[in-house]
Amino acid sequence: MAHQIKLKMWAQERYDLPDFNSIQTYISQDFERLHRGLITGDETYIAKGFAVAHASPSLDFNIIVDGSVIFQGANDGAMYIGESGATAIPCSAVSNTTTYFWLEMTNQDTTLAARTFWDPAMYDGLGGEFEQDVLTRNELILEMNSSTMGFPVGANIIPICTTLANALPPPAADITSFTDCRSMLWRLGSGGSVPDVDYVYPWAAGRTEPGVSGAAAIFASGDKQLGSLKECLAAIQSNIKEMKFGTATGAGAVWYAPSPSSLSDGEVSMVDGGTFSWVLGTNTLAWTATIIFLMPGAANTNTIVAGNTTLLDANGKVLYVDLDRTGPLNPPIQVCLASAYVDQPDRYIITRRENDAVFIGIQ
């Protein structure tokens, strides 16, 4: 099954234990190269799992191992999969401080069992068999470690979380908050010591298409710099985030959040309203008839009745409404500075003040 290196075998050759061990070593190395070369690069990522289970109030909690998966590209490319029914890892936070929890993976010899061996010195040199209990398996083992001093630095360090606990004595002692520090394969947001929900792929070699002919620089930049499945996913997710939210940040602007607009949004129309009047002296806007919003695909309309007088008392203020496609609605008028406006699905600006003028119409 090995690909990059294979054991060469010859007819009539004697094969010894190192030869048989090399077969599984070569197979293992191929999988490790696959994980690092194709999936993770030189970083370690959790594909799924290692979530926290906590019953408050308590300083104790568990890390769920069952079904969890790690690709350890930062170390040797090993992969760990938590077996079904695997026991959760118990953890305890330190009160009145922040505690850091991380995993380390080690190879350990396990499973003691009887095996038969040959001893050429037995029976006055004639040789003979004997039995001995030996460890028969070498397994990847997870070890949970913790500290109040931060995460250590090392290729085998896999951050899981931090906890912040109160200073109360039992039974009121409790973890008041967790921070998820997992670096996850399918997630755009980064993990580690300072998790960042706003992380985007950095395009370190630039986003300019290098082309296919020219100087040596054509071998880098653009999507030619993507070196693993993880980097490709991060680049695509970052572009989706950019298309939906621009440079906006925060939990409402993650790449998978509902889009603030869709291809059909341009078909929403605002009709009627009668005559709009803008009085600069009092900074007020009014209209003489009901405003009607027509939305494609929705059987109902939203309306704003006439007679409203709205205060736009500062340059850059916008008047907007949140439309409802599920039924007839008179949405409340909302006003804020453009700098404080947050895009959301079916939210529309209908008036914007620029200096001493106002502009009316869906924006």
Output the DSSP codes for 72-130. Answer: ETTTT-EEEEPPTTPPPEEEEPPTTSEEEEEEEEEEEEEEEEEEEEEETTHHHHT-EEE
How much is the pLDDT for 247?
A: 83
DSSP string, 2-33: -SSS-----TT----HHHHHHHHHHHHHHHHH
318-333 as b/e: b if 16+ CB within 10 A: bbbbebbbeeebebee
Decide: 230 and 199 in contact? Cβ < 8 Å. no
207 vs 75, residue with greater confidence: 207
| Cβ-contact 221, 89 below 8 angstroms | no
User: Sheet holding 44-48: strands in order across?
Assistant: 44-48, 69-72, 78-81
What tokens were used for 63?
């890390």
d(CA 206, CA 131): 64
- What is the pTM assigned to this prediction? 0.73
Q: For the residues 336-340, what does the mean pLDDT come to? A: 89
Instruction: Name the nearest CA neighbour of 331 among 280, 287, 291.
Output: 291
Q: Which whole number is the average pLDDT over 55-59?
A: 95
The tens digit of pLDDT for each residue in 303-331 reads 888 866 778 888 888 888 888 777 777 88
**Rounded Cα–Cα distance for residues 152 and 192 (Å):** 11
> Which of 10-24, 212-226, 251-265 is least confident?
251-265
Residue 151, token pair as written in the block: 């995460």
Q: What is the pLDDT of residue 268?
A: 63
Q: Which residue has the higher pLDDT, 273 or 139?
A: 139
pLDDT at 233 over 90: yes
Residues in the chain, overall count: 363
Looking at residue 311, its pLDDT comes to: 80
Residues forming a β-bridge with 184: 46
Q: How confident is the model at residue 201 (pLDDT cuts 50, 70, 90)?
A: very high
Return the beta strands (E) in the chain as ranges.
44-48, 52-53, 60-63, 69-72, 78-81, 89-92, 98-119, 128-147, 158-165, 175-180, 269-272, 276-279, 284-287, 291-294, 302-304, 309-311, 317-322, 334-337, 347-354, 357-360
The angle at the Cα of 60, spanning 56 to 65, to the nearest 5 degrees, equals: 105
Q: pLDDT-based confidence at 112, cuts 50/70/90? A: very high
Asked whether residue 359 carries a pLDDT value surpassing 70, the answer given is: yes
238 vs 273, higher pLDDT: 238
Asked if omega into 258 is within 30° of 0 (cis), the reply is: no
> What percent of the chain stands above pLDDT 70?
93
Determine contact, residues 122/12, Cβ cutoff 8 Å.
no
- pLDDT value, residue 285: 84
pLDDT for 363: 58
Reported as a pLDDT band with limits 50, 70 and 90, residue 269 is low
- Check pLDDT > 80 for residue 235: yes
Mean pLDDT of the chain: 89
- 3 pLDDT exceeds 60? yes
> Using one digit for the tens of pLDDT, what is the confidence trace for 15-48?
998 998 898 899 888 989 999 999 999 999 999 9
